[in-house]
A and B are shown apart, each in its own frame.
Chain A
Amino acid sequence: MFGKLVKYELRSSGRTLLPIWCAVLVLSAANAVLFSRPSFFESGSRIAMLLTSILPLVLFALWVAMGVLTLIFVIQRFYSGLLKSEGYLMFTLPVRVSSLIGSRLLTATIMELAGSLVGILGIMILLIGQNGINLTVNLGDLLRAIKLEPQAARWGIAALVELVVLGLLSVIEGNLRIYMSIALGHLSRRRRGVLAVGAFIGLCIIISVLNVWAASFSMQILPLSWIDWLTNASWANYALPSLALGLLILRALVLCAVWWLGTQRILTRRLNLE
């Protein structure tokens, strides 16, 4: 059933976002072609002047629109798709509430990652068009560097993997935080939208306060000798970034769990469709 929920969510979101992705890629290519021919825009013709001033602006506007639309999509598919009239259909399907939340979350995350990929591809097309990027990696050099500094390479690879995991978890955590805020707004019978925005701001403030508190608290409870050892150990230069990323991953996991459980509880126990 979960797969079927995701299928319909993907179809719904693809309809909205696919055209704008295509437009970004096409316009990136058009810009790349345009700027790879200096003779064209140096010709001073009216069309050249118009195109060189308008096309980059349109591309920039599309990038912004893509980001905004994706965010609206994440909010709208959860709010309208579950907590407005469509909720009468979705919450009477023979599926668990966790499947409803999970399908929205998975689709939103896929759309955000796909949107980012389209953005990166667009930039690459622009840069390739101008011969300003060399995408080839000298594998031999890389292997030689790994052999020379195996410890640094190990920690480096670990940090890289952690960075990717952290990026993914941050996207998921952001989506779940939005869901939690909308669910908190749903607890009220009136002005649910305004309360959801207030809840989101409130959650962000609470997390910031907790971050500062956790940092100062850990400095207080960690013995000074530990901090000395951590910062002066021979492997510290390589390992510390990886350890720090590990802690950030743990933090993101805890936040994801809190938002997930909170949202699930509200939608299970306190659901009240209009």
Chain B
Amino acid sequence: MSSELVTCKDLWLSYGTVTALSGVNLTLAAGRIVGLLGPNGSGKTTLIKLLNGLIQPTSGTVTIQGLTPGPKTKAQVSYLPDRPYFADWMKVGDMLDFFEDFYLDFRRDKAEEMCGRLGLKKNVRIRTLSKGTLEKLQLVLVMSRRSQLYLLDEPIAGVDPAARDFILRTILTNYNEDGTVLLSTHLISDVEQVLDEVVFLQEGHVILHDNVDAIREREGKSVDALFREKFRMGGQGGKDNVW
């Protein structure tokens, strides 16, 4: 088996006349926490959907542990989308059953413990939960899996600071350390301290992929400061501003 967990080779994706990803080449190793950073519309969600097999590339290849996204890779990937995906007829307990039924790596005891800490009872109907609680429940389910790859799409967007702390703590204390966490966000200051490496996306191009420590050493500034600098200039420099 390849030591590379994720490999994207010359990945292109177009929606009609709009190009979302333009020749992305990216390799991610196992056991890393990676920030997928970029402004809105830079292609973060598109890249995550491609890794999940939710969309197909226009050209190029994407593999996870050497396999094209499909049932085998999906058994290894734990995905948190940027929206709730529950069926409203279900109760919290039904969702625990559902994950236990479909994912062999689901740790029910862990999920129940976290639900208990959140005060979520099994017989509560999902449609009665608030948006914030739904997001937390979804995170609990996703992080209760012992996956090789966690794809977390904007997990801290639009939540209050307390919820943000809960989310980051849940991610850090529950992910499989042999696996990789790919976390997309544009709120870098909140996640910078937990990242091992970052990928900067701009208009569908990877403009930077490096270790966080190496960036700080080379640039003499935080990743957040660098991000602000580059993407403030992004409107002028655009995709030609490649490092």
Residues of chain A in range 125-169 having any CB-CB distance to chain B below 8 Å: none
Q: How large is the interface on A (under 10, 10 to 19, 20 to 34, 35 or more residues)?
A: 20 to 34
Nearest B residue to A7 via CB reads B101
Decide yes or no whether A209 CB sits under 8 A from chain B. no
Decide yes or no whether A91 CB sits under 8 A from chain B. yes
B89 & A189 in contact (Cβ 8 Å cutoff): no
**Which of B23-31, B70-78, B208-216, B231-239 is the contact stretch?**
B70-78
A4 & B102 in contact (Cβ 8 Å cutoff): yes
A96 & B71 in contact (Cβ 8 Å cutoff): yes
Contact partner, A273, options B54, B77, B87, B98, Cβ 8 Å: B54
Residue interface bits A225-263, CB-to-B below 8 A is 1, else 0: 000000000000000000000000000000000000000
B74 & A94 in contact (Cβ 8 Å cutoff): yes
Query: Considering residues B81, B101, B102, which has the most beta carbons from chain A within 10 angstroms of its beta carbon?
Result: B102
Contact partner, A271, options B15, B54, B72, B83, Cβ 8 Å: B54
- Main SS of chain B's interface residues? loop
Total interface residues in chain B, CB < 8 Å: 26
A189 & B85 in contact (Cβ 8 Å cutoff): no
A43–B153 Cα distance when bound, in Å, is 71
A15 / chain B contacts, CB cutoff of 8 Å: 89
B71 / chain A contacts, CB cutoff of 8 Å: 94-96
**Which of A31-39, A80-88, A174-182 is the contact stretch?**
A80-88
Whole-angstrom distance between the Cβ of B8 and the nearest chain A Cβ: 18
Given the interface contacts A81-B87, A86-B87, does A92 sit within 8 Å of B74 by beta carbon? Answer: yes
Residues of chain A in range 44-99 having any CB-CB distance to chain B below 8 Å: 81, 85-89, 91-96
Given the interface contacts A81-B87, A94-B71, A94-B75, does A88 sit within 8 Å of B102 by beta carbon? Answer: no
A12 & B89 in contact (Cβ 8 Å cutoff): yes
A191 / chain B contacts, CB cutoff of 8 Å: none
A94 & B72 in contact (Cβ 8 Å cutoff): yes
A86 / chain B contacts, CB cutoff of 8 Å: 85-87
A189–B75 Cα distance when bound, in Å, is 29
B55 & A272 in contact (Cβ 8 Å cutoff): yes
A85 / chain B contacts, CB cutoff of 8 Å: 83-85
A11 / chain B contacts, CB cutoff of 8 Å: 89
A93 & B89 in contact (Cβ 8 Å cutoff): no
Nearest A residue to B78 via CB reads A92
A90–B158 Cα distance when bound, in Å, is 25
Residue interface bits B66-107, CB-to-A below 8 A is 1, else 0: 000011101101010101111101000000001001110000
Contact partner, B77, options A81, A92, A268, Cβ 8 Å: A92
Decide yes or no whether B16 CB sits under 8 A from chain A. yes
B79 / chain A contacts, CB cutoff of 8 Å: 88, 92
Decide yes or no whether B61 CB sits under 8 A from chain A. no
A-B contact pairs, 22 of them (CB 8 A): A4-B101, A4-B102, A7-B101, A8-B98, A11-B89, A81-B87, A88-B79, A88-B81, A88-B85, A91-B52, A91-B53, A91-B54, A92-B52, A92-B74, A94-B71, A94-B74, A94-B102, A96-B70, A189-B15, A268-B56, A269-B56, A273-B49
Which B residues are within 8 Å of any A CB, using their own CB? 15-16, 49, 52-56, 70-72, 74-75, 77, 79, 81, 83-87, 89, 98, 101-103
Which A residues are within 8 Å of any B CB, using their own CB? 1, 4, 7-8, 11-12, 15, 81, 85-89, 91-96, 189, 268-273
Q: Which 5 A-B pairs have the closest CB atoms?
A: A94-B75, A89-B85, A88-B85, A88-B81, A94-B74
